[in-house]
Amino acid sequence: MIPQPKAVIDKGGYVAIKSPAPTTSIDDSLPSEAYILDIDASEDGKVHVTGGSAAGVFYGIQTFRQRLPPSLLRRGSSATGPWELPAQQIHDRPRFAWRGVMLDVARHFMPLHDVLRFIDLAAFHKFNVLHLHLTDDQGWRLPIDGWPQLTVVGCWRRRTMQGSAQHELYDKRPHGGFYSRADLEEVVAFASERHMTVVPEIDMPGHMQAAVASYPELGNGAEVGVMEEWGISEHVLNMSDKTLGFCRDVLTTVCDIFPSEFIGIGGDECPHNEWKANPDVQRRMKELGLPDEDALHGWFVTQMASHLRSLGRRAFGWDELLACGDGIPADTRIAGWRGIEPIKMAAQRGFEVIACPDTAAYLDKRQSEDKNEPTPIGTVLTPEDIFAYEPVPAGLSKDEAGKVIGVQANVWTEHMESMRRVEYMAYPRLCAFAEVAWGKSKEDDTVAGFQDRLKHHVLYLDALGVNYRPLTGPRPWDARPDAPGKPRTMEYRMAKQSKFIADLLKH
Ligand code: ACM
């Protein structure tokens, strides 16, 4: 079973299970996501799940589904039972409150049914947050009241880079799409039925080239289309009243669609070169009495966080926000991604933090050194590497450690052109991440134990039709010689860490 339950008490003997649907009840003296799964030897084939809430019941049912034969997960099955299971009582509860997975639908648009499928698989692994990265330089994916060009211009690009940037290869095909409001409401409802919260993200004030392509007055004077390359665009939002009004309109619409307490406002990778060269931005900075562009960035974030607060929500953003000066609101939740250090720093500064370091939680990285791994970028990140990841950094006090309230795996889709590829990159690594997020009992915390569980678990992935990376390595059709990558070593990656830390220590 993945993730593995915390405590399994054997009662002795086997039970013939007649129905794959257990009876359920709620006992609110249990923690809300906890459950007890009772496979009872004394009463003929009786299986009961007691949850601390409906979410706990849901997790107990997922555990039970993973004890029954995999064939029962197929969309058609003639199996009728009974099924023999050991009589057991399972007591289980998660380690982390935020067990997230981020899906980037901006770099490659994923059709609605693919997003629903992604949610269904994540919920099966007891994740409870889908962070939906809805906008970026390469595409805008939702309609915003009063700003129609976003889904006329901003959601399409003429062509797409194939592989990483230095190869300068492109396909010859337009790409894009957007979700209607009804689509997104369906995503929210479908996730909620599976006890997942959808946390939408509108990345600002950088990663906004698709918006600037739609409304040039939001930018700093450059005439641009929707970006066709991978990398970080220089074309960011200006800081005019109109642009701030645009951002508030966007967040208001987003809050109308998504009930989540947290709303992602990005804040990462915003080059300040256009701001330095734009006299209007410089004038605004002076009028506000701000010393530099980092402070202006912080001021912008604070404006957006206040707007969210006026709508009864809280801001969620990447760890670059820590470099934005003193101003960012204390209730902002930080996603620490540039290695371990920013996670530690956010917790030490009193912010709630979600641990998603690129060194352990970025599923766009290659899964092995095999030359047939598709578009190999970054460092190698195997399921075993992920399994061994400990999200609470060493050296934190108990109170600071308590600020690490969750973990998240991030699926950036520059090099994932379809859900078939997303599944290849996500699984089985999300299985390892599920164990990190749900937490492991001491006796289950061995890589060999995880590898054994995984060998059995892939039978369930097979039954669900998941295009996971085979444990033996890529198949011939997984290779992408037409989209070459840029592999890196961990030494190369760690050499960049001191730059990130210097950036964060600026303020
Ligand atoms: C990020 O990977 N730019 C958050």
Structural tokens at position 315: 């801001």
pLDDT of residue 325: 66
Question: CA 27, CA 50: separation in Å to the nearest integer?
Answer: 6
- 357 alpha carbon – ligand 1 mean position (Å): 10
Summarize the confidence of residues 101-129 as an average pLDDT: 98
Atom of ligand 1 nearest to the CA of 358: 2
Categorize the per-residue pLDDT at 502 as very low, low, confident or very high, splitting at 50, 70 and 90: confident
Residue 506 has pLDDT above 80, yes or no: no
* Predicted local distance difference test score (pLDDT) of residue 252: 98
Stretch 407-434: mean pLDDT = 98
pLDDT digits (tens, 9 = 90+) for 52-79: 999 999 999 999 999 999 999 999 988 8
Q: Are strands 314-318 and 83-92 parallel, antiparallel or unpaired?
A: unpaired
pLDDT at 229: 98
Contacts for 264 with CB less than 8 Å, ≥ 6 apart: 131, 133, 199, 200, 201, 202, 203, 316, 317
Closest CA to 233 of 106, 130, 325, 368: 106
Q: Which two tokens stand for residue 178?
A: 């957007």
454: CA distance to ligand 1 center in Å?
Answer: 29
- Token representation of residue 357: 């370091």
Q: Is 316 in the pocket of ligand 1 (CB under 6 A)?
A: no
Q: Whose CA is nearest to atom 2 of ligand 1?
A: 337
- Is pLDDT of 260 > 90? yes
As a whole number, mean pLDDT of residues 288-297 equals 94
Counting DSSP H helices and E strands in the chain, the numbers are: 17, 19
Picking from 26, 92, 96, 83, the residue whose alpha carbon sits closest to that of residue 59 is 92
d(CA 461, CA 432): 14
Q: Per-residue pLDDT averaged across 475-487, rounded?
A: 97
User: pTM, whole model, 2 decimals?
Assistant: 0.97
Q: How many CB atoms lie within 10 A of CB 34?
A: 21
Section 405-418 average pLDDT: 98
Residue 259: its H or E element: none
Helices (H), 464-496: 490-495
- Is 230 a pocket residue for ligand 1 (Cβ < 6 Å)? no
Banded pLDDT at 317 (limits 50, 70, 90): very high
Cis peptide before 82 (omega within 30 of 0): yes
Ligand 1 geometric centre to CA of 319 (Å): 9
Q: Using the Cα atoms of residue 218, residue 220, residue 222 and residue 227 in order, give the sign of their dihedral.
A: negative
Which protein residue's CA is at the shortest distance from atom 3 of ligand 1?
Answer: 268
pLDDT at position 504 is 77
Phi, psi of 388, deg, nearest 5: -80, -5
Q: How many angstroms separate the alpha carbon of residue 497 from the centre of ligand 1?
A: 14
| Furthest CA-CA distance within the chain | 79
**Bridge partners, 201 (sequence order):** 133, 264
Residue nearest to atom 1 of ligand 1 (CA): 268
Residue 372 pLDDT level (bands cut at 50, 70, 90): very high
pLDDT at 134: 99
Separation between Cα atoms, residue 303 and residue 239, nearest integer Å: 11
Q: How far is Cα 275 from Cα 254, in angstroms, rounded to an integer? A: 27
Distances (CA, A) of 88 to 3, 10, 323: 17, 5, 51
Structure-token match 């987003």, residue found? 254
Q: Is the CB of 232 under 6 A from ligand 1?
A: no
- Condensed to tens digits (0 to 9), the pLDDT of residues 137-162 reads 999 999 999 999 999 999 999 999 99
State the average pLDDT over residues 375-380.
96
Instruction: Give 286's pLDDT tier (boundaries 50, 70, 90).
Output: very high
Segment holding 294, helix H or strand E: helix 293-310
How many whole angstroms separate alpha carbon 410 and alpha carbon 353? 15
Q: How far apart are CA 345 and CA 287, in angstroms?
A: 31
Q: Which atom of ligand 1 is nearest to the CA of 362?
A: 2
pLDDT at 78: 83
For residue 318, give the ligand 1 atom closest to its CA. 4
- Report the atom number in ligand 1 closest to the C-alpha of 335: 4
Pick the range with the lowest mean pLDDT from 207-216, 264-273, 297-306, 317-326: 317-326
Q: How far is the CA of 406 from the centre of ligand 1 (A)?
A: 17
Ligand 1 lined by 186 (C-beta under 6 Å): no
The two structure tokens encoding residue 282:
């410089």
In angstroms, rounded to a whole number, what is the distance separating the alpha carbons of residues 89 and 248?
51
The stretch 305-320 carries a mean pLDDT of 97
Q: What is the mean pLDDT of the chain?
A: 96
Ligand 1 center–CA 374 separation, angstroms: 21
CB 267 within 8 A of CB 318: yes
Write the CA distances from 332 to 264, 368, 495, integer angstroms. Answer: 10, 36, 29
Residue of 232, 337, 365 with the most ligand 1 atoms within 8 Å of its CB, for mutation: 337
- Residue in 269, 270, 338, 500 to alter for ligand 1 test, most ligand atoms within 8 A of Cβ: 269
Q: Provide the pLDDT for residue 324.
A: 80
CA distances from 433 to 66, 378, 456, 485 (A): 17, 19, 17, 24
Evaluate whether 149 touches 214 at the Cβ level (below 8 Å): yes
Here the tokens at position 430 are 């999300």
Report yes or no: 22 and 48 within 8 Å, Cβ to Cβ: yes
DSSP string, 308-363: HHHTT-EEEEEGGGGGS-TTS-TTPEEEE-SSSHHHHHHHHTT-EEEE--HHHHBT
Residue 136 bridge partners (DSSP): 139
For residue 385, is pLDDT > 70?
yes
Looking from the CA of residue 232, the nearest atom of ligand 1 is: 3
Percent of the chain with pLDDT over 70: 99
462 CB less than 6 Å from ligand 1?
A: no
What distance in Å separates the CA atoms of residue 280 and residue 226, rounded to the nearest whole number? 24
Q: Is the pLDDT at 326 greater than 70, yes or no?
A: no
The answer, yes or no, to whether any atom of ligand 1 lies below 6 A from the CB of 362, is: no
Whether the predicted pLDDT of 507 surpasses 70? no
Ligand 1 atom having least distance to the Cα of 207: 3
The one-letter amino acid code at 185 reads E
Instruction: State yes or no: pLDDT of 119 exceeds 90.
Output: yes
> How many angstroms does the Cα of residue 337 sit away from the middle of ligand 1?
7
Q: Which residues are catalytic?
A: 269
Mean pLDDT of all residues in 458-485 = 97
